[in-house]
C-alpha cells in the first residue's frame, strides 16, 4: 500500500526559505501535507492504477505488538526476503523507547556478507527517515543501545520499513507546489514561478515514473511484477 511519510522537516530541507513563510498561527505545513497527499492519490487513481497494488513497503521490523529482548546490547532482525521494488528510503516509526537507540541498516546480495548502508541515532519519538545510497537484494536492521549499557536490550516499540522514493518525491513536489501556490496569491511573481517549477517536477515524475504493480495481488512484489511496465497497462478499480 502507498503510505506517506512526508514531514515538515522534509519540506524545509527541500526549500529552506519556506520555514519563514508559515502563516500566522501555523507551526508546520501539516494541513497542506495532508491535502497534497489526497490530491496525489487521486492523480494516481485517475491514471488507472489500483492503489492497493502499488507501493508495497519492505518491512524489516515491526514491534507494534511484541517487544523482543536480547541477552546482548544489540538486536538483529531477520534478513528480509528479496523484494523487487525500487527501494530507496528507510523509515523508522519510533513509538516508545527505554533508552536512546541506534539503528544500522545493512544490505547483502547473499545473506552472508553484510555491509552497512545507513545509520540513525534516535533520541526522540516520531517518524525518522534516511536515504539509501547503496542497493542490495536483501536488507536487515541492527538495533543497539547508544550508551552501550543496557543489557538485556529492550527493542523499542517501532516499525522499520524501506519504501520507494517515487511516492515520497511525488508527495514532496505536490506539497511544495501547493505551498508556493498559496504564497503566489499574496506576494509576488517569484512564488508563482516556483509553483510552476514544482508542478513541472511533479507532472514529469507522475508521467515518467515507473509504478511497480502487484499483478497477482499476493501482497508481494516478485520478479515478474518488477518486469511489467506499468505505463502501458491499465488496472481497473
Per-residue pLDDT, 232: 47
Task: Judge whether 159 and 63 are in contact, CB under 8 Å.
Answer: yes
Per-residue pLDDT, 228: 65
What are the domain boundaries of the chain?
A: 8-54+166-228, 58-164
Q: Angle CA(40)–CA(199)–CA(28) in degrees, nearest 5?
A: 65
Task: Judge whether 221 and 84 are in contact, CB under 8 Å.
Answer: yes
Domain 58-164: CATH class, spelled out:
mainly beta
Could you tell me how many residues make up the chain? 237
Per-residue pLDDT, 33: 93
pTM of this structure:
0.78
Per-residue pLDDT, 233: 45
Per-residue pLDDT, 61: 83
Task: Judge whether 8 and 19 are in contact, CB under 8 Å.
Answer: no
Residue-wise over 80-109: b if at least 16 C-beta within 10 A, else e? bebbbbebbbbbbbbeebebebbbbbbbbe
Per-residue pLDDT, 237: 28
Helices 30-46 and 165-184, axial angle in degrees (round to 10): 120
Per-residue pLDDT, 82: 61
Task: Judge whether 114 and 105 are in contact, CB under 8 Å.
Answer: no
Positions in the chain short of pLDDT 70: 1, 22-27, 64-72, 78-86, 150-151, 184-188, 223, 226-237
Per-residue pLDDT, 236: 34
Per-residue pLDDT, 23: 66
Task: Judge whether 97 and 156 are in contact, CB under 8 Å.
Answer: yes
How many Cβ atoms from other residues are within 10 Å of residue 148's Cβ?
12
Task: Judge whether 92 and 160 are in contact, CB under 8 Å.
Answer: yes
Residue-wise over 180-200: b if at least 16 C-beta within 10 A, else e? bbebbeeeeeebeebbeebbe
Cell numbers found for residue 116: 552497512
Per-residue pLDDT, 42: 95
* Bond before 199 cis per omega within 30 degrees: no
Amino acid at each position: 500500500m502507498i503510505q506517506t511519510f512526508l514531514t515538515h522537516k522534509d519540506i524545509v530541507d527541500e526549500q529552506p526559505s519556506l520555514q519563514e513563510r508559515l502563516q500566522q498561527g501555523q507551526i508546520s505545513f501539516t494541513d497542506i501535507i495532508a491535502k497534497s497527499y489526497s490530491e496525489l492519490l487521486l492523480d494516481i487513481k485517475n491514471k488507472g492504477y489500483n492503489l492497493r497494488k502499488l507501493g508495497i513497503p519492505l518491512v524489516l521490523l515491526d514491534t507494534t505488538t511484541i517487544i523482543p529482548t536480547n541477552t546482548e546490547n544489540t538486536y538483529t532482525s531477520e534478513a528480509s526476503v528479496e523484494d523487487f521494488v525500487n527501494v530507496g528510503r528507510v523509515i523508522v516509526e519510533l513509538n516508545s523507547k527505554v533508552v536512546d537507540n541506534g539503528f544500522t541498516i545493512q544490505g547483502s546480495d547473499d545473506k552472508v556478507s553484510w555491509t552497512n548502508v545507513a545509520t540513525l541515532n534516535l533520541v526522540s519519538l516520531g517518524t525518522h527517515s534516511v536515504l539509501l545510497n547503496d542497493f542490495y537484494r536483501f536488507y536487515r536492521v541492527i538495533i543497539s543501545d547508544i550508551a552501550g549499557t543496557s543489557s538485556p536490550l529492550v527493542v523499542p516499540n517501532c516499525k522499520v520499513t524501506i519504501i520507494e522514493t517515487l511516492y515520497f518525491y511525488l508527495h514532496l513536489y505536490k506539497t511544495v507546489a501547493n505551498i508556493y501556490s498559496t504564497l503566489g496569491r499574496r506576494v509576488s511573481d517569484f512564488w508563482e514561478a516556483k509553483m510552476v517549477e514544482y508542478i513541472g517536477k511533479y507532472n514529469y515524475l507522475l508521467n515518467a515514473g515507473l509504478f511497480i504493480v502487484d499483478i497477482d495481488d499476493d501482497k508481494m512484489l516478485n520478479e515478474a511484477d518488477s518486469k511489467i511496465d506499468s505505463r502501458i497497462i491499465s488496472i481497473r478499480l
